[in-house]
């Protein structure tokens, strides 16, 4: 409790000293109070630092445990070739590769499950195939599938669920219905229909779709346009005859050596797009590029014969052509496969 100095009978000098002492005490108390308050944030910072260190320590321990676990799993599958159910179940979550195809992982789990199914088939049919042979064959199949998927993405070609179902229906029709197909799949591979679609049907449908739609893909058009542009540039220069260009450029091996000579032909012999272009030309004229299912043609009509009612002969033309073929899918696929990187981790030769 503060004492009122004005009520006490002290000299003015004494009162001033007392006020000075009381003021000093008050300053000390305020200093202590403010010091205590200023220490609070420091305590909080220290607490958070301790908590942060704990979190980092826990995270580091978790990472070490995960790395050790993955390492043990890798050792089990790559070195010890473990077929333990727990290991295989874990591999369904861990994306350990059996191979990597141009950056795309072929999962070890998928490879093992398909090996298991093919071995089941082999034992049922008493084919006598060894597991080592089956492992290599399955890995080769999965690598080809990965190549197809990469190519499909590159060429922007896709397979829909309807495409897969249509393929299943074709197989079912051959076997007498979907029930018989399902029973056959179960008996042969111990698969249900979903697994059959995933492992067999999808890759077959994708391969067929790629081959069918390849000619209309942007990549194909780019390849062929480079050749046709170069051909047209050569023709427009006028330095070489049509016959010379046919010998140098035409992909029709049967006629190229003869300067692209097709001889005489009436309507109904050639493919429609080619025929329409040829019969529309006058003798000596050369067409622009004509697209057919085979590729692009440059056509030159040399002579024409009108229809003759007396001899009952139809209208005919004598022509030459230069063909720039669409690239074959098999050649494009082989070239692509030669260029990409494929890393195998299992079934090594």
| pLDDT tens, position by position, 212-225 | 888 888 888 888 99
Q: Is the pLDDT of residue 33 over 80?
A: no
Q: Is 177 left (phi over 0), alpha (psi -120 to 50) or beta?
A: left
Write down the pLDDT at residue 1: 46
What three-state secondary structure class fits 318? strand
Query: In 3D, which of 192, 182, 303, 300 has the Cα closest to residue 250?
Result: 300
Report CA dihedral (79, 80, 83, 86) to the nearest 10 degrees: -90
Which is more confidently placed, 3 or 141? 141
The stretch 173-186 carries a mean pLDDT of 92
What three-state secondary structure class fits 223? helix
Write down the pLDDT at residue 78: 55
Q: Is the pLDDT of residue 103 over 80?
A: yes
Distance separating alpha carbons of residues 112 and 87, to the nearest angstrom = 11
The stretch 230-248 carries a mean pLDDT of 94
pLDDT over 70 percentage in the chain: 72
What three-state secondary structure class fits 349? coil
Write down the pLDDT at residue 184: 93
What three-state secondary structure class fits 18? helix
Return mean pLDDT, the chain: 81
Distance separating alpha carbons of residues 121 and 130, to the nearest angstrom = 12
Is residue 111 within 8 A of residue 142, CB to CB? The reply is yes
Dig out the tokens for 348 from the structure: 């090594």
Query: In 3D, which of 250, 152, 164 has the Cα closest to residue 201?
Result: 164
Write down the pLDDT at residue 123: 86
Query: In 3D, which of 337, 345, 331, 338 has the Cα closest to residue 145?
Result: 337
Query: In 3D, which of 259, 261, 254, 262 has the Cα closest to residue 243?
Result: 259
pLDDT band with cut points at 50, 70 and 90 for residue 122 = confident
Instruction: Return the top range by mean pLDDT from 30-44, 58-72, 208-222.
Output: 208-222
- CB-count exposure of residue 213 (10 Å: 0-12, 13-18, 19+): middle
The stretch 244-266 carries a mean pLDDT of 96
Task: Kindly report whether the global pTM for this prediction surpasses the value 0.85.
Answer: no
């Amino acid at each position: 409790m503060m004492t009122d100095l004005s009520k006490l009978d002290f000299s003015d000098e004494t009162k001033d000293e007392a006020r000075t002492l009381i003021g000093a005490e008050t300053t000390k108390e305020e200093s202590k109070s403010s010091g205590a308050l200023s220490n609070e944030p420091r305590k909080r910072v220290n607490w958070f630092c301790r908590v942060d260190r704990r979190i980092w320590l826990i995270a580091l321990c978790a990472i070490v445990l995960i790395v050790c676990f993955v390492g043990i799993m890798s050792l089990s599958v790559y070195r010890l070739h473990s077929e333990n159910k727990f290991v295989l179940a874990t591999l369904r979550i861990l994306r350990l590769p059996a191979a990597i195809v141009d950056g795309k992982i072929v999962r070890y789990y998928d490879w093992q499950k398909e090996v298991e199914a093919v071995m089941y088939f082999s034992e049922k049919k008493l084919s006598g195939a060894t597991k080592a042979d089956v492992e290599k064959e399955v890995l080769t199949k999965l690598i080809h599938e990965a190549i197809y998927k990469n190519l499909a993405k590159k060429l922007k070609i896709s397979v829909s669920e309807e495409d897969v179902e249509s393929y299943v229906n074709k197989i079912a029709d051959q076997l007498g219905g979907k029930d018989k197909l399902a029973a056959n799949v179960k008996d042969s591979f111990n698969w249900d229909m979903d697994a059959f679609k995933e492992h067999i049907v999808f890759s077959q449908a994708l391969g067929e779709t790629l081959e069918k739609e390849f000619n209309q893909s942007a990549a194909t058009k780019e390849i062929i346009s480079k050749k046709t542009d170069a051909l047209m540039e050569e023709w427009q220069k006028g330095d070489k005859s049509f016959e010379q260009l046919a010998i140098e450029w035409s992909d029709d091996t049967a006629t190229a050596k003869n300067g692209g000579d097709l001889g005489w032909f009436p309507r109904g012999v050639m493919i429609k797009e080619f025929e329409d272009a040829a019969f529309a030309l006058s003798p000596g004229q050369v067409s622009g590029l004509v697209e057919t299912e085979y590729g692009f043609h440059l056509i030159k009509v040399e002579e024409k014969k009108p229809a003759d009612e007396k001899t009952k002969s139809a209208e005919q033309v004598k022509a030459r052509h230069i063909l720039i073929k669409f690239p074959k899918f098999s050649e494009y696929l082989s070239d692509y496969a030669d260029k990409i990187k494929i890393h195998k981790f299992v079934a090594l030769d």
